[in-house]
Amino acid sequence: MVQRASGLDPAENRTALEELADHPGATDLVVLPEAFARDFGEAGSDLAPFAEPLEGPFTEALRRASRSSGAAWLAGMFEVAPDPARPLNTLVLAEDDRLTAYRKIHLYDSFGYRESDTISAGDLEPARVDVGGFPLGLMTCYDLRFPELARTLVEQGAEALVVPAAWVAGDRKVEHWRTLLRARAIENTVWVLGVGQPGPRYTGHSLVIAPDGDVLLEAGEDDAVLDTVIDRTAVADVRRTNPSLENRRL
C-alpha cells in the first residue's frame, strides 16, 4: 500500500511508478492511490487533455511493473470516455497481461466540489477480481460513502475491499475516512484496505482494517508504504462468531 502523491505531469508519475517497481519487496499486490496517473489539479480543472485509453502509456507502465515484480498493481487514472470532455475516473489492476478496470460509480459532488463537471460516472458495474486466489472488491474514494456498493461486492464473493482514494483534507475528513472504512469492514465482515494520497491537500491515513473492525495499520499524513498480510481464514473466523450476513432478512 503506497501512500504517495501524484503530480500534474503524467510522465513524471510514470517515472515514479517505475522507481517503485524497482523495490517492491515480496508481495502479491501493490496498491497506489486514486488519480496516480495525474493529479486532479485545481478544483474544476479540465481533465480531458490527460485522459488516456485503457491500453495507453499508464497501463503499459503498470504492466511493466507487474511483469518485473511478479505482483499485481492497482492504481487510478483518467480514461477516455464516450463524452470526450469528461473522462472516466478509472482504477486499473494490471497482473502480467491481464487488465481489470473499474470506473468510479459515485462522483464527488459534495463538500463544495463537483466532480461530475469534469468526470463521467462509470456504469453500474461493480468490479470483483481475484488476486493470488483472494477475492477482492474495488472501490474508489467517494464510493466509500455508499454501503450498497460494498455490500454488492461482498454478495459477489469479495472478502477484501480495496479503496484507492484522493480523500480531500478538511474538517472531520480523517474521522469520516477512518469511520467509514471501519464500518464497511464491520458490517460486511471483510478486510478493508484504504490507500490515500498524502497531505496537505489530501488526508493520507492509509489504513488496514481487519474483518472484526480492528485497525491493524495506519499511516499519518506524509508519504508512507504499508506492508500487510491478509488471509481468508480471518474472514471465516469472524463470520463464525458474527454471522450477520446470514442473519439478514430481505
Backbone phi, psi, residue 225, to 5°? -125, 125
Catalytic residue among 52, 104, 115, 159: 104
Of 52, 79, 95, 141, which is the active-site residue?
141
Task: Give yes or no for a contact between 135 and 160, defined as CB atoms under 8 angstroms apart.
Answer: yes
Could you give the CA distance from residue 244 to residue 126 in angstroms, rounded to a whole number? 22
- What's the one-letter identity of residue 173? K
Q: Write down the catalytic residue from 34, 52, 79, 115.
A: 34
Is 173 catalytic? The answer is: no
Look up 175 and say whether it is catalytic. no
Looking up cell 459532488 gives: 109
Cα(186)–Cα(242) distance, integer angstroms: 10
Residue 141: active-site member = yes
Q: List the helix and strand counts (H, then E) for the chain.
A: 5, 12
**Which residues carry out catalysis?**
34, 104, 141
